[in-house]
Chains A and B, each alone.
Chain A
Amino acid sequence: MNRREFLNRMTFGTLISGGALLTAAALKIPVPQTGFAARRYNLGDINKYPLNHFTFLPEKNIYLFRDRKRIKAVSAICTHLGCVLRRSDAGFRCPCHGSKFNDRGAVISGPATRDLDWYRVQQEPDGRIFVIEDQTVAPEDFLEI
C-alpha cells in the first residue's frame, strides 16, 4: 500500500464510521429514556365516591365504581386512539371516533377492537386503598370491603 492509498482509506474509513456513529447517536438522542413511574394512587376516603355510580377521576383518567361492599376501577382511555371516554347511559362512549363500550368495558361497537383495562384495587394493611394501574384484572375482580 502506498501513501496515497493509505490516506484515501483512512479518509473514507473515518468518514463512513464517524457518519454511522453520528447517525446512530442522532437517532438515539431525540428518543427519551422514559422510565415509567409506578402508577399507584391512594383513593383516600372512599366514602366521598357516590354509591352504585361510575365516578370520573380527572387527574388519573379512570372511572371508579363503588357499591356497599365492593370497589373497582376501569381505564377511561379509549383503546382505539387514546381519547378520554365519557359516561353514557349504558356504558362509555368515545367523543373522537364513536367507539362504544358497555359497563363491563367490553366493546359494543368499533373502531376500538380491545376491551377497556380494569385495574387492580388493593387495600393495604393500614386500611388505605390504592388503584394500581400497572396490574390489570378481569372485570369481575372487585375489591371486597
Chain B
Amino acid sequence: MRSLKTPATTLERTRAISKNFFLHIHAAKLDPYVLKPTFTFGLGVVATSLFLILITSGIFLLFYYTPSIERAYFSILDITYVVSGGRFLRNLHRWSAHGLVFISLLHLARVFYTGAYSRGRGLVWYSGMILLLLVLSFSFSGYLLPWDQLAFWAVTIASNIANATREIGVPAFMDPGRFLKYLLLGGDQVGQATLTRFFLLHVVFLPITTLFMLGYHFWRMRKSDGLNTPGSMSAATGSETSGDPVSDNMPNTKWLSWPVLIWAELSVFIVTLALVLLFAYLIDAPLRAMANPTIPENPAKSPWYFLGVQELVSYSAFSGGIAIPLLLLAGLFLIPVFDREDKQPGTWFSGTEGLRITILSVLFALPVAIGAILLSPVTAPAFRGQPLLTMLLNPGTLLTILYIIWALLLGRKYRSRRYSALALFTVSSVGFVVLTVVGIWFRGTDWQFIWPWGL
C-alpha cells in the first residue's frame, strides 16, 4: 500500500515520477510556464486522450463488426439499432475520430507558432508529423469500414487520385501511384479485397505503428526536458541529460511534475472525455445508404478534412491530388531544417513582429484564395482538351505559386527564415481553411457553386 501514500517530500515526489511506469514519461521537474493554459491549450493531451478513447471504443465495436462486403453495412445497422449501447459507442468513436483530426491540426499550428520545433527538437516535430499522417490514415481507412455510399466513393476517388501519376506519363511498371492503388485496393476496383486490407490497416497495422510512434514522440520530449519554453536552458544539442532526475542540475525555479502537471493533464483528459461523451449522447453519427457501385451520391463529398483536397482535385487530378499535398507535407516536414534561428522559442509568433507578419499574411491569403477559387468556372472550360495546361494553370497551382512568392518576399524583407516560415505556414493554413469551407458549404449538385443558405 506504500504507493497509495501521497508523497510528501521533494525526493518522494521525484521518485513517484521516475519509478512509475506511466509517469516516467514526464520529466521530474517542469518550468511553470508550461502550465499556462494559453501557451499550449493542452492540445497534445487532448489528442492523446482522444486516441485512448478511440482505442477503447474501437475494441468494443470490434465485437460486432464484420469486415465483409455483404455483412459490413448490416453489422453497423446491428450495432446502431440492436446492440445495447452500440449506437452510443459508435457515436463516441466517430466524434472522437473527427475530434482527433481537428485537434491534431490545431496542435500542429500551436507547435509551429510557438516555435516548439527549435533548439534540437527536430525529432519531436518529425515524429509528430508522422503521427498526423497516421491519424489521417486512421480516418481514411476507418470510413471505408461501414461500406456505405460515402465509404465506397471516397475510396474509389482516392485510389484514382493515387493513380493520377499516369497523367505525367510514368510507365506503368514503375509507377508508384499505380503500385499504391493496387496495394490498397487489392485489385483494380474497390471490393472485398479492399475492405479486408483497410480493416487490417485500421485495427492492426495503424494502432501498433501509432503506439510506437506516440511512445517515441513522448520519449523525445522527455529527453528534450519537456516543452520548449522561453526560459528553457537546453542547448541545441543538449538533449542528453543523465536521466537521473535527482542529480540533474535543474534551476530552482522549476516545479515538481508530481502533483501539479499530472493533475493538470488528468483534468484535461476528464474535460475531453466529458465533451465527447456529451457529443456522443446528443448527436448521432451519420450512416449513408449502402454502397452502390453504379450511382454515386450527388454531390459525392468526402469528410470535411479532405474537402480542401477534393476542391483542389476538382481543378486537376495530378496537381491538386498529388503535387500540392506532397509539396505541403514536404514543406511542413522540413520546417526544422529550414528555420534554425531559434527566434524566441516558446513565445507565440516569436513576438509582436511575428504577430504582425501573421496578421498581414492572413489579410493577403484570404482574398487571394477566394479570388483563385472564383476563377475555377473560367479555367475549367478554357483549357479543355489540354491536359498540360489544366495541370499547370489552375486555381490550385496559382495559389501555391502566389503563396510561395509572398513567403519569399517577406523572408527577404525581414532577413529572417523564421518570419518567412511564419508567413508560409499562415498563408497555407488560410488557403486550406478557405478551400475546406468552400468544399463544405459552397459546393452543391455536380460540384457547382451554391450559396449555403440556398438562394
Chain A residues within 8 Å of B, Cβ to Cβ: 30-32, 34, 36, 56, 58-59, 61, 80-84, 86, 88, 93-98, 100, 106-111, 113-115
Query: Contact check: which of A32, A80, A84, A108 meets B384 at CB < 8 Å?
Result: A108
Give the interface centre of A58, A82, A88 by most chain B CB atoms within 10 Å: A82
Complexed CA–CA distance, A82 and B446 (Å)? 14
Complexed CA–CA distance, A95 and B295 (Å)? 10
Question: CB of B179 within 8 A of chain A?
Answer: yes
What are the 10 tightest A-B residue pairs by CB atom distance, in nearest-first order? A98-B447, A95-B298, A113-B387, A97-B314, A109-B381, A58-B294, A110-B380, A81-B160, A82-B160, A96-B300
- Known contacts A84-B296, A109-B381; decide if A98 and B156 are in contact (CB<8 Å): no
Q: A110-B380, A111-B394 are in contact. List 15 more A-B contacts (CB 8 A).
A: A30-B186, A56-B294, A80-B317, A81-B313, A81-B321, A84-B295, A84-B296, A93-B446, A110-B316, A110-B379, A111-B317, A111-B320, A113-B167, A113-B387, A114-B387
Complexed CA–CA distance, A111 and B157 (Å)? 13
Complexed CA–CA distance, A107 and B385 (Å)? 7
Determine whether the beta carbon of A98 is less than 8 Å from that of B314: yes
- Known contacts A98-B447, A107-B385, A108-B384; decide if A81 and B298 are in contact (CB<8 Å): no
Q: Count residues on chain B whose CB falls below 8 Å from chain A CBs.
A: 46
Give the interface centre of B186, B296, B386 by most chain A CB atoms within 10 Å: B296
Complexed CA–CA distance, A81 and B381 (Å)? 17
Determine whether the beta carbon of A96 is less than 8 Å from that of B296: yes
Complexed CA–CA distance, A8 and B203 (Å)? 40
Determine whether the beta carbon of A81 is less than 8 Å from that of B316: no
The residues of B that contact A30 with a CB separation of less than 8 Å are 183, 186, 197
Complexed CA–CA distance, A81 and B446 (Å)? 14
Residue of A nearest to B300 (CB): A96
Question: CB of B349 within 8 A of chain A?
Answer: no
Complexed CA–CA distance, A96 and B301 (Å)? 7
B381-422: CB near A (< 8 Å → 1, else 0) gives 101111100110010000000000000000000000000000
Query: Contact check: which of B183, B193, B296, B384 meets A83 at CB < 8 Å?
Result: B296
Determine whether the beta carbon of A32 is less than 8 Å from that of B182: yes
Question: CB of B341 within 8 A of chain A?
Answer: no
Residue of B nearest to A78 (CB): B160
- Known contacts A97-B310, A110-B383; decide if A32 and B187 are in contact (CB<8 Å): yes
Question: CB of B352 within 8 A of chain A?
Answer: no
Q: Which of B272-320 contact A (CB under 8 A)?
A: 293-300, 310, 313-317, 320
Question: CB of B425 within 8 A of chain A?
Answer: no
Determine whether the beta carbon of A108 is less than 8 Å from that of B446: no
Query: Contact check: which of A32, A83, A98 meets B380 at CB < 8 Å?
Result: A98
Determine whether the beta carbon of A111 is less than 8 Å from that of B314: yes
The residues of B that contact A96 with a CB separation of less than 8 Å are 153, 157, 296, 299-300, 310, 447
The residues of B that contact A110 with a CB separation of less than 8 Å are 315-316, 379-381, 383-384, 390, 394
Complexed CA–CA distance, A136 and B299 (Å)? 29
